[in-house]
Chain A
Amino acid sequence: MVSQSVSAQASGHGHDHGHDQGELKVLGFWIFLVTDCLLFSTFFGAFAVLRGHTDGGFTAHDFDVTGFILETFILLISSFTSGLAVLAMHKGKKNSLIRWLILTVLLGAMFVGLEINEFTNMAREGATISRSAFLTSFFSLVGLHGAHVSFGIMWMIGLMVQLAQRGITPVTKRKISIISLYWHFLDAVWIFIFTVVYLMGVM
């Protein structure tokens, strides 16, 4: 009787401990997101200051409007599908979770592809990163975001492999929640790139 209650207590404690540890890791990731926010803010600050310094070359009026509208909606939809992946995970549907993740990765890849296309088109017109201070700050800011998205794609592919092997466990659950936070965060940053860089550029 006594040993039973002790073991129940111990396992209860063990469970709580694991739960706390997982929560702590998610909190740790939130703190990473905050520091990432600071990193982006310095790039935004540089862009805001240098946006007029075009040195007679490519200006913000010359942005490809259809291109950035497409990029914006693709990233927004992928943010939504990564949320649906988390919902499928909470329902314990592994296959549907993997399908939503695949869709998110495909949309992310389309976004990166469009961005690479935009950058190469600009470079072909002579608007390279070293052409003017405006272009340096533009390619750094948007490129930093694109690098984050590319990294997220590789991370998500890794997680899908892990999911296929291990299924939905407390550990993979936590990892999926974290990458979904990361993905939503990237869309949140893009809202400001869309507004400050592109919309204020073409207006």
Chain B
Amino acid sequence: MTNHEQTEHTGAMKAYVIGFILSIILTIIPLLLVLNHMMAKTPLMVSILIAAILQFAIQLFFFMHIREGDGPRYNAMALLLGLVFAVTVVFGSIWIMEFNYVVQ
């Protein structure tokens, strides 16, 4: 095993451990916030959503290595498009159905 490979592996190990610790922290923070009723409803919802999005990003960068690989990152582009669709589907549904609730 070359020296370069060696450092690459220790680097990867480090990335996994850091990602894992950050994920645990980002799971515990929203848990504590919710179980101890530490905030009003809207800021609480926003905070735990931000924690979820951060943890999602950690999975992508530290565990799924979305930045790795040569050439154009088609996987990242596809994922970005998918996320746009996903957000549109979820928030579009909520928006439409809330309106339905208002007019009923």
Give A contacts to B, CB under 8 Å. Answer: 23, 26-27, 30-31, 33-35, 37-38, 40-42, 44-46, 48-49, 65, 69, 72-73, 76, 79-80, 83-84, 87, 90-91, 181, 184-185, 187-188, 191-192, 194-196, 199-200, 202-203
Q: How far is the CA of A44 from the CA of B85 in the complex (A)?
A: 13
In the complex, which residue of chain A has the Cβ closest to the Cβ of B39?
A: A203
Main secondary structure on chain B at its contact with chain A? helix
Give B contacts to A, CB under 8 Å. Answer: 1, 9, 12-13, 16, 19-20, 23-24, 27, 30-31, 34-35, 37, 41, 44-45, 48-49, 51-52, 55-56, 59-60, 63-64, 69, 74-75, 78-79, 81-83, 85-87, 89-90, 92-94, 97
Q: How far is the CA of A21 from the CA of B77 in the complex (A)?
A: 20
In the complex, which residue of chain B has the Cβ closest to the Cβ of A83?
A: B16
Q: How far is the CA of A187 from the CA of B19 in the complex (A)?
A: 13
Residues of B within 8 A of A76 (CB): 20, 23-24, 27
With A38-B85, A87-B12, A195-B48 as known contacts, state yes or no: A184 contacts B59, CB within 8 Å: yes
- Min Cβ gap B70→A in Å is 9
